[in-house]
């Protein structure tokens, strides 16, 4: 995770992006390139801070089919 901040419920944002996947992050970057807009990206699921494999990209396979996998199959 590159940057994470916790804000109170009363915080306001210029944009709220639902989904922190590839396209959600691209949209957020594009919105900030030429402005000082405040952006909130929200993603499904709980915090993964207690599971070390979620912080290491190469260890992603270790988190599959576990509590941190939302089990969405397409």
Per-residue pLDDT of 4-42, as tens digits, reads 566 666 678 899 999 888 899 999 999 989 888 888 888
Q: If pLDDT is split at 50, 70 and 90, which confidence band does 71 have?
A: low
The first and second tokens of residue 71, run together, are 């089990």
Q: If pLDDT is split at 50, 70 and 90, which confidence band does 43 have?
A: confident
The first and second tokens of residue 68, run together, are 């941190």
pTM of the model: 0.54
* Strand 15-18 versus strand 39-42 pairing type: parallel
The domain ranges of the chain are 13-43, 47-74
Integer CA distances (angstroms), 60 to 7, 16, 71, in order: 28, 27, 14
pLDDT at residue 35, as a whole number: 83
pLDDT at residue 36, as a whole number: 86
């Amino acid at each position: 995770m590159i940057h994470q901040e916790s804000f109170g419920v009363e915080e306001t944002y210029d944009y709220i992006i639902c989904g922190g996947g590839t396209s959600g992050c691209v949209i957020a970057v594009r919105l900030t390139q030429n402005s000082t807009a405040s952006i909130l990206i929200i993603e499904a699921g709980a915090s993964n801070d207690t599971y070390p494999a979620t912080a290491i990209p190469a260890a992603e396979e270790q988190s599959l089919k576990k509590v941190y996998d939302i089990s969405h199959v397409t």
